[in-house]
Amino acid sequence: MKNILVTGAVGQIGSELVEKLREKYGNNSVIAAGHKTQPTEGMRKAGPFEFVNILDKEALEKFIVKYNIGTFYHMSSILSAVGEQKPQLAFQVNILGLYNVLEIGLKYKLEKIIIPSSIAVFGPETPRDNTPNETILLPTTMYGITKVTGELLGNYYFRRFGLDVRGLRLPGIISYKTLPGGGTTDYAVEIYYEAIKHKKYTCFVRENTVLPMMYMPDCVKAIIDLADVPLSKLKHHTDFNVTAMSFSAGELADSIKEIIPEFTCEYKPDFRQAIADSWPKSLDDSAAREEWGWKPEYDLPKMTKDMIEKLSPKLKA
Ligand code: AKB
């Protein structure tokens, strides 16, 4: 079997994806690649790690050959909030970087490329409740524009060249191992850290802001399950809605108060409120359920219990 390359491996999702893939396929079969951030000692010791800039196509090609790569999980991306502060950078990394990956996929006949998309593909004109898989895609953020482009390019490379490109529209992802960086949904992670450390949090979206969310174990499972399903089962390719739960920032704070009663949360919306307001509140993910058996395990109370149990000893250490 050929090996697996994961870019964005030091990021919030990439770091846990690498861990799971190494458990499944063996440490040396999974090559982790990051841009500048140092990997943890655990990641570096467990298996191969390389630094690479996604815009450096030649360097990427060298790794494809050096490690005999067959499957490419392309996790590196500039997220929505940073994307609004640095739109040119978001365009380069998310579109030109992806273009490099797709072209490399053709040149080296990669077996599979996985490219996560996001709820950011939707915009203010999209129906916000139970948003269908096929609907209006008119995002107002640069991040959203790059993600729609990624979905369209991936589908194009599949139809036109037969390259097996797959992707899913991830909601906000909550986790305790690696902090997210630069997203609008980051408040849903920060709130747990601050609740445990300081018993209070100032949230950068309004209390009644509702967004679709998912806990990391479900997220990693979704990505790997989509990658593993036989191609013949797929009608969609790069644009599956996936979700696990939807809650308001206030409901999230209440779920934490159930376990940490002293916790208080106040709300001071900043520029990220407008981004959150342009995204759906909940998603219809029946296409993912039908085509590759998607089914989440965690709801809000179960996630909050696990987050606090896992994060508390880590923050006290
Ligand atoms: C972000 O907030 O930018 C990401 C996303 C929903 O894609 N977490």
- For ligand 1, whether the C-beta of 79 sits within 6 Å is yes
Q: From the candidates 67, 143, 215, 267, which is the catalytic residue?
A: 143
Given this model, what pLDDT does residue 316 score?
Answer: 87
**14 Cβ neighbours under 8 A, 6+ residues apart:** 6, 7, 8, 32, 34, 73, 75, 76
Is any atom of ligand 1 closer than 6 Å to the C-beta of 120? yes
**Ligand 1 mean position, distance from CA 180 (Å):** 9
pLDDT of residue 1: 86
Q: Which of 199, 185, 209 is nearest to 308 (CA)?
A: 199
Q: What is the pLDDT of residue 235?
A: 98
Residue 65, CB half-sphere, CA atoms under 13 Å: how many? 7
Domains plus CATH for the chain?
3-171+215-241 (3.40.50.720), 173-213+245-279+297-316 (3.90.25)
pLDDT of residue 202: 98
Q: Where do the H-state alpha helices sit in the chain?
A: 12-25, 41-46, 57-66, 80-85, 87-91, 97-107, 142-161, 187-198, 216-228, 249-257, 272-277, 286-292, 300-316
Q: Whose CA is nearest to atom 1 of ligand 1?
A: 183
pLDDT (tens, 9 = 90+) of the chain, 317 residues, equals 899 999 999 999 999 999 999 999 999 999 999 999 999 999 999 999 999 999 999 999 999 999 999 999 999 999 999 999 999 999 999 999 999 999 999 999 999 999 999 999 999 999 999 999 999 999 999 999 999 999 999 999 999 999 999 999 999 999 999 999 899 999 999 999 999 999 999 999 999 999 999 999 999 999 999 999 999 999 999 999 999 999 999 999 999 999 999 999 999 999 999 999 999 999 999 999 999 999 999 999 999 999 999 999 999 87
Query: Distance from the CA of 241 to the center of ligand 1, in angstroms?
Result: 14
Gap from CA of 171 to ligand 1 centroid (Å):
7
Ligand 1 contacts CB of residue 146 (under 6 A): no
